[in-house]
Structure 1
Amino acid sequence: MQSKLIRLLLLALLLPLQGAAQTFVNLTPRPKTMTVASGSVTLPTDFKISSDGLDDEMKAEINRFAADFNAATGYTVSAVENDAEALMKVTLATRDDLREDGYTISSTDGVSIQITAKTA
């Protein structure tokens, strides 16, 4: 579950939001409710992904993602810890009121996407 949440967060940050005309969004498990909006983000060719308070398995997933992203794009993405200036920040947020494997995803203007789950 941990690596699924990290990968979902990173993909959500790096992919443009789907247009409202599209009804299919590839999320597993499929959300009970969803509002689809349009938007985009342009990434610099050199940026950092910072982690804070994550276990070794989650940090390893961020490192794998950065390596795969670099290989696919030719960009220079580095995984770091506790860097307030990093373009992307990954932290752990849990909520007891969610069902098992339940999650919420919310996005705001700018590059701010939060994924919260019942467990890590």
Structure 2
Amino acid sequence: MDNRLFLLDKNYILKQAQSDLRLELQSQLVDMVKDAYFDYFNPLRLPDDISEQVERFRPIHLSFFDELYDILSGIFRFQIGDNQLELLFDGSSHYEKYLTDWTEAFKGYVLEMCQKKNFILAA
């Protein structure tokens, strides 16, 4: 994640937060896609061969999702715009705020993509 994706991509605290959350959020991505699969293709969760395979699936490594994660990370950094730190009055650090903000945004991005049949099938 050392490369800058756009001119003002210099928010190093956010990049560190995104890097630290990578494996956790990629694991959540798999679970969210599995839930979306059942919502889209088998809402009653009736047992069949494919549904059982999906339910039992546990990824060996999550590196398959690295490119998607990096792209979504860059989009989030671009969307928040400037690289100025805001004043926080709740006692939390910027790192903690970015952990929370990035987790919420990532889940929102994934939920939006899970509305697409092709994304569910590809993941």
TM-score (norm 1): 0.31
Answer 1 or 2: which has greater helix percent. Answer: 2
Answer 1 or 2: which has greater strand percent. Answer: 1
Bigger CA radius of gyration: 2
Which protein, 1 or 2, shows the higher relative CO under an 8 Å CA cutoff with sep ≥ 6? 2
